[in-house]
Amino acid sequence: MMQNEGVLLSHVGKSYAVGQSRLNIFEDLSLHIPPGDFLALMGPSGSGKSTILNLIGGIDGVDSGEITVGGQRIDRMGQGALTRWRAANVGFVFQSYHLLPMLTAEQNVALPLLLTGLSGRERRRRARTVLEIVGLSERAGHLPSELSGGQQQRVGVARAIATDPKILLCDEPTGNLDRQSANEILQILGLLNAELAKTIVMVTHDEAAARAARRTLVLDKGAFAARELAACS
């Protein structure tokens, strides 16, 4: 069960090896995301936005500092514990959908549930439920090639929430979509945030997407801009 502390990055340092040298992304980055927040991260390419998602999701580790999510120090977890924690607490939405082409929408959505110990019947029931939430129950048996880009991304969102995680990490979720499809995805994310209390952290270059969030932070050269941007009502 997640606690009430939300997400806390405290004095985080992060770098990557590039040949014989290291590329510094963050030297002393701190960020608090309260439970139930919908945060958009904006900024130029290479500023570290996706790195923040990877750190919160336990994909990358820190060089220094601390990461606490729901009262748990995930930077101290071993890989096994981190994998189990991630499967239970975090859902990912990707720009390019990352659906398996040989599986139906329902089967793609059910994939994360293989780690939960649910029966096959319960996995199918859960997959159909979340497909209904994103408005795609009638497409459950379709392959990704038989779906539009917007429908594929809705399958991606359904897959992300299949395990009922508290946190959704969205990396350019509208980046490959036309405006109408993008708006549909943003409406779904807004619903998940407002009605199901999902904490959402969304990397985007899309100002319309940022306006759908509760607040926006701008990242540049590994640091946040002084001014926080509030969502337009």
How, if at all, do strands 21-33 and 7-18 pair? antiparallel
* Rg, C-alpha atoms of the chain: 18
Residue 233: per-residue pLDDT: 44
- What tokens does 45 get? 């390419």
Q: Which residues of the chain carry a pLDDT beneath 50?
A: 1-4, 233
Instruction: State pTM to two decimals.
Output: 0.91
**Could you tell me which CATH number the domain at 36-66+78-230 has?**
3.40.50.300
Distance CA 64, CA 26 (A): 10
Amino acid, single-letter form, for residue 19: G
pLDDT for residue 226: 59
Give the type of residue at 109.
Answer: V
CA 143 from centroid of its chain's CA atoms: 23
Q: What is the pLDDT of residue 117?
A: 80
Report residue 107 CA to chain centroid gap. 20
